[in-house]
Amino acid sequence: MARLIPAEERIRRARQLIRQARDLPVPVGGRFDLSYIAGVKDLLRQAKDMVKMIPYTPTATREMKADIKVIYDDIERAGKEILR
């Protein structure tokens, strides 16, 4: 049986995934390398998947929901900054 991950840990891991996407080294071919783009999008998708269900849980506080909105904004911003 899978172990449940607490919401605080999910938020921390999502931020870490966003940081990993930003720190991913740009290949010699530039930002338009398909494997680079796929790697960045995969990390950002994992970050989004990590926190997407937290607002719907009964234990989610207002602060958690606000943190999730910030994380969603960070994911969108990171995708635009990294890939454009």
Grade residue 1 by pLDDT with cuts at 50, 70 and 90: low
Residue 17 has pLDDT above 80, yes or no: yes
Distance from C-alpha of 17 to C-alpha of 15, rounded to nearest angstrom: 5
Query: Rounded to two decimals, what is the model's pTM?
Result: 0.92
Residue 22 has pLDDT above 90, yes or no: yes
Mean pLDDT over each residue of the chain, to the nearest integer:
94
Provide mean pLDDT across the span 42-66: 95
Q: How many CA atoms lie within 13 A of 46 on its CB side?
A: 16
Provide mean pLDDT across the span 40-57: 96
Q: Which residues contact 62 (CB under 8 A, 6 or more apart)?
A: none
> For residue 12, which of 60, 50, 52, 63 has the smallest C-alpha distance?
50
- pLDDT for the residue 48: 97
**What six digits make up the tokens of 16?**
């870490």
Per-residue pLDDT reduced to its tens digit, 24-41? 999 998 889 999 999 999
